[in-house]
Structure 1
């Protein structure tokens, strides 16, 4: 298995066009990149970052992705959320509030006319878990699709594989068997289409985790990318970038 290229995590990128607030907590904010005329015909893209739900990983590492998607013609929002080990209801609650508050604020000046009124949620790694959870349990108003990039889509399997040294149990505060309402593989089929994009050489979240989700939800489209690792899916300089853009474009009106 190839070593993971983590360079995108520390790559310098300009800040967002503006930062929005969806709640009173310090973490209840979202970065926004405002698209051009192409974005008016496209959904709002809401990004959910990964980092195994741990406090030390925040939305900043998605800035190269947010900027690149804006330059490719979308209006983009990258959501921050509280990451409190053992309190998964806080994390999930923030995602649910953000997905309702940000797209629903259609009268707000920041995005008037900057997207077509629909929403695509894109999550990476643990953010992919949250995106898939929300697709079933708390879908965004106007949701037309979910794109999960290398998602932790099956908490039970991820726990058995001991991903990131017990990350699932740390997040949940206990075994996943006691938290079925937070496990995407055990939830109802999402009402809007789901695409999972996963690299075959992912050394952080193995492809088997995505395959377990798609086996449970056969309507899901799984795109397995040969010779691609975990972080390439959020790296605009990687060979996976074209697939990510094409997948998003499939939800354009």
Structure 2
């Protein structure tokens, strides 16, 4: 386990008994590289992650999927798959947010998951599958951190622990050209949160005032530009780009 996790107040009988990164490796979740994921806050309109000195970590929502939801089973499956993509994005973001500054923490220092909010795109007033759609996100999260609906659970029980289980809201009725936008809050040891804030601030991507120092400490050349954001290639953004390209082609065809 993480060194901060080992010093936490979690009772021994309730502690996670597996290495989170072993599960990440088994499900082939690519965490990427420092260069591709860690950048400066300069030019960004929102944070991907905010640390509270008490130990709470807030991750911004990410829109995934390419279709609005209804109760058709195939459409629900599309939304669940989109939720898994969002969970992977959050796990990747949290990994780099915890590790990029070299304070000694990583995903093994997540104490437990506090709350997830799944905002589901559906204008169908009869839509009842919001919780089922967001289960795609919750299940993927529990696969990595532990929980009854994760891939490593057997007969509804996860022998490794339940760090990934969270309070949750799954709300339909939102509009947009994607399927759902989940966000999540986790808890880390206050000592780790304070170490991060004292070293590089409360926010991720990294504050511009300290980004160059952090990059140099990792043996990376400082850059004024932003790192490639995983959210820039989400299915929702790809779909919007594709639709714009198709509209352009149709307009060109009519004009010719």
Name which structure has the greater RCO, CA cutoff 8 Å, separation 6+.
2
TM-score by length of 2: 0.27
Bigger Rg over Cα: 2
TM-score by length of 1: 0.27
